[in-house]
A and B are shown apart, each in its own frame.
Chain A
Amino acid sequence: MPRQAWQGPLEQVDEYRWRIPTSYDRRMRVPGLVFADEKLLQHITQDESLQQVANVAQLPGIVRASLAMPDIHWGYGFPIGGVAATDPDAGGVISPGGVGFDINCGVRCLRTDLTVEEVRPKLRQLIATLFKTIPCGVGMSGDIRFSQKEASRVMVQGAKWAVDQGYGTAADLAHTESQGRLDGADPETVSERAVTRGQGQLGTLGSGNHFLEVQVVETIFDARAAAVFGVGVGQVVLMIHSGSRGFGYQICDDHLGMMERAMSRYGITVPDRQLACTPVTSEEGQRYLGAIRCAANFAWANRQCLMHLARQVFERVFEKSWERLGMTLLYDVAHNIAKFEQHRVNGSQKTVCVHRKGATRAFPPGHADLPEDYRAIGQPVIIPGDMGRNSYLLVGTARAMEETFGTVCHGAGRMMSRAQAVRQASGRSIERELEQQGIIVMGRGRKGIAEEQPEAYKDVNDVVHVVHEAGIATRVARMRPLGAIKG
């Protein structure tokens, strides 16, 4: 199945919004709404992603629109960068294809008091120590173990479990989406296989696009928000991108299979097997919810453990405690998740099930779910770019609440397939090229770094330009990379 360019209709709404009308396919229950400009659209129309937007629009109970962020690309089931909310009172479904295998894959950002001048002389040592300390790559397991009995506590308590083990503080939890723990996690719905796959995986990064990156703030766009978030030009920050590891992958697999078998009982048909779904209120829907909450909590525990390991490395390299280095957690966001949230739909306040598949929650100033210290400013949104260019810190807006269920993009978005990227890198050393720009990258596999080369991604600056101009998030700060470890 080769890539197929989009042949369907795309109506321009304004400079940054495009609509796929329901007339494209009579099974669509709502239109598709794509956030992009002409430049990004050239890439977006080259693969299957817009067809996937139209497929998602067919899910029972979907409200308002099947949304796509400017970093959208071809996924499986949902496009990556896809957002959909369903109404449980109107037969709305929940679909594992709207969350993905890596349940609660997400990003956290730590600030530091360190300046780029202080870090530069020790950069190689810092990256090498991070690489040696933090398990990454295929088949690597970590030292953080939990007993079978402990496993349930990780699933129910999430990041708090890690804090209780001494890996961080309560202040970290306040700066984590949902405080690093979703209610309603039900370990009974989790298979033994998932628990087995999760063993040895807490505090491990994984491979693919997962990373830990040291960055320096190069531009501030919003001085007020930046001051509240504690970042300024020349300051060093740290980003960690990982998820629920084998534990979450197995949960996705188990429940997708169950839903696929049950679907016909609910009279549901979907255009792609990966979109298998059942009503939120069905037994299968409820079991899947109980299980993904376990996986989401596992992922938050994982990122909390990873952060703890990173803080220890900084302590060793800079010979100061992490507290004295000012290494507080700025924020942690989930970008593969399904959650119940209150949104305004057709003029009234409703609880809907928001699926974010490669998309980030972006709540506005004043939202009750925000920590007190950020409430006047809005939710920090962390947007990592590729390892050669930039990453961003944004803040959520009221417009996102009205239009996108309080959601924005999650990254730069892949443009090149992995095979294309490897072909492109043939005869080159991506590590050396990055080093010439002053960026030190260490990874387990040669191929991994080639697959993740900057040219494989859209320019995150273009993606952020669209969401900022469309008003669904606003720029606070831009970072550039100093060094990274990759799986």
Chain B
Amino acid sequence: MNQGYEFFDHTADVGVRLRGGTLQALFSHAMAALTQLIAENSSLESSEERVVELKASDASTLLLSWLQELLFWFSTDRFLPASCSFDTLTPTGLRAHVRGERFDPARHVFGTEVKGITRHALDVQQTPEGWEGTVIFDV
């Protein structure tokens, strides 16, 4: 898992296992996994920046909200995140700067349409090495 995320086999959908030394790394890897699913290895520019603030009851629900927000951006105006940085990130809230660009069929690769982020098997845990998480995407 050298990119910090690894897809695993799920019969109908796509699961991803996440690992990060910090919660910030874990959330960045989750974003990268989503981008990889939608646009595979497209090369993306960071020409547009967006700011997002989210609150949640726990780390796994926050991860869910984070991915939902990114997917909403893609679904509505084709914005694909390339990188992000966090002003704050705790298990119950975040404020992030997300940089990326809009999907361009001429330059980018068509991957899979992600319908939603499921709550099935959703998990974020702190481990002695940092953080681990699991998400299953409905595709």
Interface residues of A (CB under 8 A from B): 1-3, 47, 49, 73-77, 80, 97, 100-102, 137-140, 193, 196-197, 199, 206-208, 246, 249-250, 252-253, 256, 260, 272-274, 276, 414-420, 444-445, 447-448, 451, 487
Give me 10 A-to-B residue pairs in the complex whose CB atoms sit less than 8 angstroms apart, sorted by A's number. Answer: A1-B8, A101-B115, A138-B39, A138-B103, A140-B105, A206-B113, A273-B122, A419-B7, A419-B8, A448-B110
Identify which of residues 1-25 in chain B touch chain A, using a CB-to-CB cut-off of 8 Å. 7-15
Instruction: For the complex of A and B, list the 3 residue pairs with the smallest distance between their C-beta atoms, beginning with the closest.
Output: A76-B120, A273-B119, A417-B9
Q: A207-B113, A418-B13 are in contact. List 8 more A-B contacts (CB 8 A).
A: A1-B15, A77-B119, A80-B12, A102-B115, A197-B75, A250-B72, A256-B119, A273-B119
**Majority SS at the chain B contact face:** loop
- Tell me, yes or no, whether B116 is within 8 Å of chain A by CB: yes
B97 within 8 A of A: no
Task: Indicate if the CB atoms of B11 and A417 lie closer than 8 Å.
Answer: yes
Q: A76-B118, A80-B12 are in contact. Are A447 and B136 (CB under 8 A)?
A: no
Contact A445 B109 (CB under 8 A): yes
Question: Contacts A208-B113, A447-B40 given: A139-B121 contact, CB under 8 Å?
Answer: no
- Which of A2, A73, A197, A208 is within 8 Å of B112, CB to CB? A208
Check if B130 is an interface residue, CB within 8 A of chain A. no
Chain B residues with CB under 8 A of A416? 11
Q: A residues within 8 A CB of B8?
A: 1-2, 419
Greatest chain A CB density within 10 A among B8, B9, B74, B113 is at B113
- List, in ascending order, chain A residues with CB within 8 A of B90's CB: none
| Given A208-B139, A415-B11, A445:B111 Cβ within 8 A | yes
Cβ B11 vs Cβ A47 within 8 A? yes
Partner of A139, one of B10, B78, B117, B122: B78
Q: Are A196 and B134 in contact (CB under 8 A)?
A: no
The answer to whether B74 and A139 touch across the interface, beta carbons within 8 angstroms, is: yes
> A77 to B13, alpha carbons, bound, how many Å?
12
CB distance from B100 to the nearest CB of A (A): 13
Q: Are A139 and B11 in contact (CB under 8 A)?
A: no
Known: A101-B138, A246-B75. A444 touches B119 (CB 8 A): no
In the assembled complex, which residues on chain A have CB atoms less than 8 Å from the CB atom of B74? 139
CB-based nearest B residue for A206: B113
What's the Cα separation between A2 and B134 when bound, in Å?
A: 11
